[in-house]
Structure 1
Amino acid sequence: MTDTATRTTASNPTSTAADQVLGSDIGLLVLRVVFGGLFAAHGAQKLFGWFGGNGLDATIDGFTKMGYNPGELFGTLAGLTEFVGGLALLLGLCTPLAAAVILGTMINAIYLTFDDGLLGSGGYELALLYAVPAITLAFTGPGRFSLDHGRPWARQGLVWGSAAVALGVVTAITTLILKAVL
């Protein structure tokens, strides 16, 4: 039996398996805190006008102009999903569900900006850039430094990541259908 604290890898003989695991956990922590924090800040801009945002009334007006009617429902929902989903990822809490929430929101943003192409003014690159870390965290889980770690509800891996992606896609499509019929 080999102790994981003293086992070394062939690619880097000075790095122990424990160092690699700890490095992954720190990397996931940085990703979650920065990504989740920025996403929550976007939601706070929409809901509360914090961080230079315009607040809920302007968000509602914007969603109405984009064809999301009633704007009150969709604008508030967008702000809440960004704020709550971002905070949940920041904390590493219910990570696959938080990732699904953010992914669904970003699919709608991609839909709105798709005609402008991937890159350039008005393109969907930023929405795609936000979707990818959400998908990544859905599959990897939040890491050791999270509220999910060691809890009975903690989920990660292929099945849970796939379920989170599927949930995000289904909620995005449902939102787009409601946008079209309301």
Structure 2
Amino acid sequence: MKYIPEQLRASPEPASASARPAVSAADCGLLLIRVTFGLLLAGHGAQKLFGLFGGDGLTATGAWFAATGYRPGKVYAVIAGASEILGGLGLTLGLFTPLAAAAVIGVMINAMATVTAAHGLWTQDGGMEYNLCIAVVALGIAAIGPGRLALDRPFRWGKGGWREAAFALFLAGIASAIVLSL
């Protein structure tokens, strides 16, 4: 039998975790998507609730909600604004990611159903494409998981997967159906 030095022998086990980089480009890319997307959504909610970033604030937003059929308008404005703030911050931090995604998806389903659906998919008057893109990105983050650079990392739902995506979509659908039926 020929002698093979130990350094040259094929190892039956895969490369150790220490050989992998601690943070990959995919982790940084996912963090970039989560932070940009989440903070912009949270800012949009802050426009509704607090009038920040050039927003109209709760009273005017509530009046607009009432004009679109959501009564009492102020209550629905709080629900939408809080969902955008909490969902956006949850996605930003990678915290309770499936629940954060559900909050965002639910708001976007309602926006599509009551505001943008009448305009179609692509129009200059505000079609559904923007709301659909937001919902799909949130669902995608729930499916992929928030990545290594997230507070959810130690938890089962922090890995993403079919269950997490289905949970986010199911919860968003149920909440939207309840809101739309009221």
In structure 1, the residue corresponding to 2:24 is in which secondary structure? helix
Aligned to 2:140: 136
Work out the number of aligned pairs and report it: 168
From 36, 39, 58, the equivalent of 2:38 is: 36
Equivalent runs, 1:72-111 vs 2, <5 Å: 72-111=74-113
- When the two structures are superposed, what TM-score results if normalisation uses the length of structure 2? 0.86
Could you list the runs of 5+ residues in structure 1 that have no partner in the other structure? 8-17
Aligned to 2:119: 116
Could you list the runs of 5+ residues in structure 2 that have no partner in the other structure? 1-12
Aligned to 1:13: none
CA RMSD across the alignment: 1.9
Offset of residue 2 of structure 1:
2.3
Query: 8 Å contact 1:96–1:155 — kept in the other structure?
Result: no
Aligned to 2:58: 56
- When the two structures are superposed, what TM-score results if normalisation uses the length of structure 1? 0.86
Equivalent runs, 1:142-161 vs 2, <5 Å: 142-151=146-155, 154=158, 156-161=160-165
Displaced runs of 4 or more, over 3 A: 4-7, 151-155
Offset of residue 149 of structure 1:
1.2
Offset of residue 56 of structure 1:
0.6
From 164, 170, 173, the equivalent of 2:177 is: 173
Offset of residue 129 of structure 1:
1.3
Offset of residue 122 of structure 1:
2.2
